[in-house]
């Protein structure tokens, strides 16, 4: 029997989708090692404990909550020390984090504190005896590496969206714990935060991403991309580096090797050529749609559905038809 651990990421008083994915993975790992318990950890500002029960829905047996007024924002040192302390309390088989911006910072710190190895940005894993096998796209997504992690706990960070959250409801015990170090003692201090509008859906959370490339021709034409995203209801807007470099969209919208790596259910590429560096960020999407006027554009090689043509002609109609299709459901 092996208990497993999941770090449940939160933001602005709510659990993020990646938190449910981490708990789902921890549940799968525990079941595959003979059915141990899943223990989750939430770290945040006072009030976050009210969210703990939600993790039970995805298979957590116990949720430890470290609340402190100084933890409204991510504090690497406090989060890492508290995660490491929780992982030391039990004989955990495996521990799961999100490979989100926060998790990519947090998980390696926790691993080093515990002196164990970490498989990063994992898209799929299995328990094999004493080892954990983890798949990870490397070399800008051109090679899939299967990693063998030995020792316990085996730590993994999961690519957002790669492991779908699955409900396996149970009633989770909730326990308040103290942060392992006082937030005031952290050496790295956040002095300013410029928040983007809260209404905007994050690329890592979105099940549909509509992205635009240089084919949009001008920043104001991204209105067409935003309209299509709005028609899907639950879509975020992404961009290529050609677009973010020119300042048409913020750098944080960039998808690819040097930007965000995403795995949505649906990725719609509009006026994007499909350079390898862009593909590195989206090729694990479940379904890819491409619209490009060049029938030889490399994006069509990875697209499940391609339309060759002028996006300025196609987009308005597509937005209308998507709206209609969703209204008729």
Partner 1 sequence: MLKIAVCLKRVPEMELRFSIAADRKSLDQGGLKYEISDFDGYALEVGLRLVEKEGAGEVVVLCVGPDGVQETIRKALAIGAARAVHLKADEVPFDGLAIAKALAAELKDGGYDLILFGRMATDTASGTVGPMTAELLDLPCVTALSHLEIANGRGTARRDLEGATETVEFPLPAVLTIDEGIARPRLASLKGIMAAKKKPLEVKPAQLGQVSLTVEAMAMPPERAGGRIIGEGSDAVPELVRLLRTEAKVL
Ligand X SMILES: Cc1cc2nc3c(=O)[nH]c(=O)nc-3n(C[C@H](O)[C@H](O)[C@H](O)COP(=O)(O)OP(=O)(O)OC[C@H]3O[C@@H](n4cnc5c(N)ncnc54)[C@H](O)[C@@H]3O)c2cc1C
Q: Which residues contact ligand X by CB under 6 A?
A: 213-215, 240-243, 254-259, 271-273, 275, 277-278, 281, 291-294, 297, 310-312
Q: Which residues, numbered 209-248, are part of the site for partner 1 (CB under 8 A)?
A: none
Q: Which residues, numbered 49-108, are part of the site for partner 1 (CB under 8 A)?
A: 73-74, 76-77, 80, 100-102, 104-105, 107-108
Q: How far is the CB of 224 from ligand X (least distance, A)?
A: 11
Residue 147 engages partner 1 in binding (rule: CB under 8 A): yes
Contact 211, 240 (CB under 8 A): yes
Residue 193 engages partner 1 in binding (rule: CB under 8 A): yes
Helix (H) or strand (E) holding 50: none
Q: How far is the CB of 171 from partner 1 (least distance, A)?
A: 31
Residue tagged 């635009």 (tokens): 212
Member of 169, 187, 220, 247 binding partner 1 (CB under 8 A): 187
The option from partner 1, ligand X, none interacting with 215 (CB < 5 to 8 A, set by class) reads ligand X
Contact 131, 144 (CB under 8 A): no
Describe the crossing of helices 101-114 and 76-89 by its angle, rounded to 10 degrees: 50
CA distance 128 to 275: 36
Q: How far is CA 33 from CA 20, 68, 123, in A?
A: 20, 34, 19
Q: How far is the CB of 277 from ligand X (least distance, A)?
A: 3
Tokens representing 310?
A: 């002028």
The option from partner 1, ligand X, none interacting with 294 (CB < 5 to 8 A, set by class) reads ligand X
| SS3 state at 49 | helix
Determine how many CB atoms are found less than 10 A away from the CB of residue 14: 12
Residue 137 engages partner 1 in binding (rule: CB under 8 A): yes
């Amino acid at each position: 029997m092996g208990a497993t651990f999941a770090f449940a990421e939160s933001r602005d008083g709510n659990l993020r989708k990646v938190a449910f994915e981490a708990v789902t993975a921890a549940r799968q790992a525990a079941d595959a090692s003979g059915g141990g318990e899943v223990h989750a950890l939430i770290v945040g500002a006072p009030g976050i404990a009210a969210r703990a029960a939600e993790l039970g829905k995805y298979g957590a047996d116990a949720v430890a909550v470290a609340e402190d007024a100084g933890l409204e924002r991510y504090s690497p040192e406090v989060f890492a020390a508290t995660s490491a302390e929780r992982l030391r309390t039990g004989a955990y088989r495996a521990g799961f984090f999100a490979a989100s911006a926060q998790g990519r910072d947090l998980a390696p710190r926790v691993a080093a504190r515990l002196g164990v190895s970490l498989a990063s940005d994992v898209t799929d894993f299995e328990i094999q005896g004493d080892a954990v096998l983890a798949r990870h796209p490397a070399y800008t997504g051109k090679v899939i590496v299967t990693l063998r992690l030995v020792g316990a706990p085996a730590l993994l960070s999961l690519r957002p969206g790669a492991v779908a959250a699955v409900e396996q409801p149970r009633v989770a015990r909730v326990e308040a714990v103290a942060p392992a170090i006082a937030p005031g003692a952290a050496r790295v201090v956040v002095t300013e935060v410029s928040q983007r509008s809260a209404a905007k859906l994050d690329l890592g959370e979105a099940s549909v991403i509509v992205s635009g490339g240089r084919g949009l021709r001008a920043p104001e034409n991204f209105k067409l991309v935003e309209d299509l995203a709005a028609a899907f209801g639950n879509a975020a807007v992404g961009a290529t580096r050609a677009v973010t470099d020119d300042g048409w969209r913020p750098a944080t919208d960039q998808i690819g090797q040097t930007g965000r790596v995403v795995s949505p259910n649906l990725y719609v590429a509009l006026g994007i050529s499909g350079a390898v560096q862009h593909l590195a960020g989206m090729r694990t999407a479940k379904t890819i749609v491409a619209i490009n006027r060049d029938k030889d554009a490399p994006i069509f090689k990875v697209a499940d559905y391609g339309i060759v043509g002028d996006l300025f002609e196609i987009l308005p109609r597509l937005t209308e038809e998507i709206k209609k299709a969703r209204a008729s459901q």
